[in-house]
Structures are given as structure tokens and as C-alpha cells.
Structure 1
Amino acid sequence: MRLDSSTFPVVKIFFDAPNDGGPEDALLTFEHLLAREQPFLLLHEKTVDENNHEHAHEERKRASIWMKKNKAALRAYVKGMIQVEPSAAKRLALKPFAVTFGKAWGYPLLVVESKDRAWALAQDVLDTEVSDVAHF
């Protein structure tokens, strides 16, 4: 996994791209994003290949421990993860997973059909966040 924050507050996430420092480096990058204490969204523009997206047991265990440690910050600052999936059938199949994902990570998984729709949704979600903060 690799994170690209060059378009912050939209952070691109790449599951099929190794991070030079391994999984620990990706989680450290994620921690730095959370430390900014600013709302952001994760965007995965590539279709997920279910056959290529298996994580080793140790990697899943490490991620689980990391999630528990950062639960409050994840809920406070990550406004969602947007997944692009052009296939209507695959989008439908992802609905049950999206519920489980949201409970585990503390932010929603939003699945859309195109990159254009993903960027528009990202803007809508972030605009809503700014609007909600301004009304306090």
C-alpha cells in the first residue's frame, strides 16, 4: 500500500503499489496525515482485483492493532474512502463489504462508477464537512 497526499485533502491510495518502507511505512504516512488534524478523504481510482488483494496474516494483524490505536483520529479526520468500480455488478457486490469496512475502520467506503464521479463526490463530502464545522 502507498499513500499520495499531493492532492490533500484528497489522498490517493494505491493497494497494488509497494511502499518503499513496507507496510509499516504506509501506516506511518497515515499517522502523519492524521496528525495534521484536518479532514481528508482516501481515493482509490483503480478497480480492486480481488485475486491480487490478499494481505499476509501478520500485515492484517499489524493493521488491526494500528486501527485500534488510532480509532479516535480515524473517526475524526478521515471522512471516507472512495473506491472506483466501473462494473455495476461489482459495485452491488461491494455493498455488504462496505458496511463491514465502515464498522472496522470508522469511516465509510463509498463506491462509484468513475474517476470523475469519485472526484465530484470527494468535493461534496469535503464541502459538507467544512459547512458542518462552520455552523458550530
Structure 2
Amino acid sequence: MNPNDFQVHDIADFPLVRLMPEGLPEGYAVQWEAELEALIGQPEPFVMVVAALRGEHREAHEDRKRRSLWMKRNRDTLARRCRGMVAVEPDTGKRMIMQTQSAALAGLFKVPLRIVATTEEADRLARAFLGGADDG
């Protein structure tokens, strides 16, 4: 995989794949989908780490719909490649809400999904999902 082909995800620390949802332009889901296709099409397991949002972020309805449909169509393949998803949410109240929502999503998409308070905690958990992968 060529890191230059990735605009939505940061694969510089692969097998940790980072998503920075802040600042994604409307219509980004087309590129998001192409990048996920590349990630699930390669043999190595990976973990998604989603950065915390600073402030309010409203995702366009069409982007959210496209991502959801892709996840439903590809959930089995995604589950074979993606060992887990970890999102960062420093706000305790928001984190509790997200943890409740994530329980249903994890079952639907067959990928463990956890919400943590810090980037450091996210990285530790991501590496644990990978089976203790070396910090490298």
C-alpha cells in the first residue's frame, strides 16, 4: 500500500490506521471507501484509531449513508482484517454515550469497538487488539 494513495486515513503507523474525522470535506466517503477497499484487500491485520473531535462535527448525510452501506456489505471481510476500532473521546459524558452506542455497532459490524479517553490509551488498546504488536 502506498501512503500517498491515502487521503482520509493515515497509514504511516500501519498496522495502526488513523482517521482524523475533523476537517473531512463533504463527499469524502468515496475516497474513504476506496481506502477501506485497499486495507481489507491486503493480507495484514490492522486496527482503526479514530481521533477525538475538537468541537462539533456534522457529517453529511450522504457520506454517513455511503459508509454505513459499505460497512454492511463488507462486514465479514472487514472482520477478518480489522482487529478492532478504537475512538478517542476525552469528555466523560460523551464517552459514556458513545460506549453505549458502540456496543450495538460492534455486534452489527463484527469488529470490537472501544471508546477511550486519550490517544495514548487508544494506541495501547489498538496494539492489544493486534496481539501485543511491537511498538516498532
What 5-or-longer segments of structure 2 have no aligned partner? 1-6
Q: Provide the rounded CA distance (Å) in 2 between the counterparts of 1:55 and 1:20.
A: 6
For residue 31 of structure 1, report the CA deviation from its aligned partner. 0.6
CA distance in 1, matches of 2:63, 2:94: 25
Distance 1:18 1:52, change over 3 A: closer
Alignment match, 1:125: 129
Which of residues 85, 104, 109 in structure 1 aligns to 2:108? 104
Amino acid at match of 2:57: N
Instruction: Specify whether residues 104 and 60 from structure 1 end up closer, same or farther in structure 2 by C-alpha distance, changes over 3 A only.
Output: farther
Which residue, 23, 28, 36 being the options, matches 2:29? 23
For residue 48 of structure 1, report the CA deviation from its aligned partner. 6.5
Q: Alpha-carbon deviation of 1:70?
A: 1.4
Shift of 1:86: 1.6
- What is the CA deviation profile of residues 78-109 of structure 1, one whole-angstrom value per residue up to 9, with x for unaligned ones? 11111112222222222211112213332122
Q: How many residues align?
A: 127
Q: CA deviation at 1:120?
A: 1.2
TM-score (ref. length: structure 1): 0.79
Higher helix proportion, which one? 1
Q: Does 1:35 align with 2:5?
A: no
Return the match for 1:54 from 56, 59, 69: 59
In 1, the alpha carbon distance for the partners of 2:107 and 2:96 equals 18
Q: RMSD between aligned alpha carbons? A: 2.4
